[in-house]
Amino acid sequence: MDLRFTDEELAFRDDVRAFIKASLPDSIRQKLVAERHVSKDDLIAWTRILNKKGWAVAHWPVEWGGTGWSPMMQLIFRDEIQQAPAPEPLAFGVNMVGPVIYTFGSEAQKRRFLPRIANLDDWWCQGFSEPGAGSDLASLKTTAKRDGDHWVINGQKTWTTLAQYADWIFVLARTDGAAKKQEGISFILVDMKTPGITVRPIQTIDGGHEVNEVFFDDVRAPIENLVGEENKGWDYAKFLLGNERTGIARIGISKARIKRIRELAAIAMQGDRPLIQDPRFRQKLVLLEVELKALEMTQFRVIANEGKREKGRPDPASSVLKIKGSEIQQATTELLMDVVGPYALPYQEERDDQLWNEPSVGPDWAAAIAPTYFNMRKVSIYGGSNEIQRGIIAKAILGL
């Protein structure tokens, strides 16, 4: 397989870079360079800039706003967005529920939801994990019972990212308690304004409010909000998670962070010399760059095989990308901790809407490094823990 970009792909990459440079507000870019979260308004504004260009849902079918780009062009686009750095479109809508709706949903659901997802008119969150049902998601206990023209939903979801902003949630709920646990689950779309929904924040180890508990007490969702067939939700969830795991590799993010590590290590002093001159630090950095290049080659191979897969079936190789991608993301934040050294220690509690404040000592760039390190502990867990991914690889790829 020839892994070199064609002249057309190189020209496309230049066009993407030029557009991002001309269109991305510098205030948003600087937040991401400094490892700070962008606000809800920032993400909405940037998504609508992309949507006006026709690039907000680049990988979707053309009839629903997609670009018709080849898989490699889509990869280049995602990589350039991450390296800029620019905000990626809200994954819960664009990469998760959107593809489920256009693949398995009704025509009415497609017309109703897909244009609003593309323009971020609706903010979505994911109702999958529960207490006792995270990696073993099929053990979920949230129920949905038919009552006339509605589903009545009861239960609890947890680790629900950005639910405090959400207009809608896609929920896995048990609709047949007598069936085998993977066969009695349905995929239901629920308006977050429906009576009976309670969102409770969970403060994370980095001091932020990113995740939540969501409680459902006799929540009524219209029958037409069922996606696909009743009791087939597990199949749709596997499809969704396959898409999520490919994106979790986030190779462009790791490239941008390594570039940042080199810049900061050139000004961070270790004794009487910059840290970048320390041979052991350079060795760790170079080894990480080699691993990242190997991961990128693996992603190219996965992309090359996309056209050979049955529609709606995830590629088990996405589990490889998930495992190694998450490990490299964590390793980059560990190197940043080496760079920041003792300045990682000062920390102030969250105030107003800011996730991180400036440290009481040290340079401005040091403020967000320790919170980023702590926050990145999650990436080997969400989207299916790395231990679960190893089981998928053993079964689906190695045949064990």
Q: Which residues are the active-site residues?
A: 244
DSSP 346-368: -----BTTBS----SSS-GGGTT
Query: Which tokens go with 358?
Result: 């400036």
Rounded to whole angstroms, the Cα distance separating 227 from 276 reads: 53
Rounded to whole angstroms, the Cα distance separating 270 from 232 reads: 57
φ/ψ of 197, rounded to 5, equals -95, 130
Rounded to 5°, the CA angle 136-139-142 comes to 125
Q: Beta strand pairing status for 143-147 and 150-157?
A: antiparallel
Under DSSP, the state recorded for 130 is: B
Rounded to 5°, the CA angle 21-27-30 comes to 80
Amino acid at 335: L
Rounded to whole angstroms, the Cα distance separating 318 from 247 reads: 9
Query: Which tokens go with 345?
Result: 């220690």
Under DSSP, the state recorded for 185 is: E
Asked if residues 249 and 325 have their Cβ atoms less than 8 Å apart, the reply is yes
Handedness of CA 25, 27, 32, 38 (dihedral sign): negative
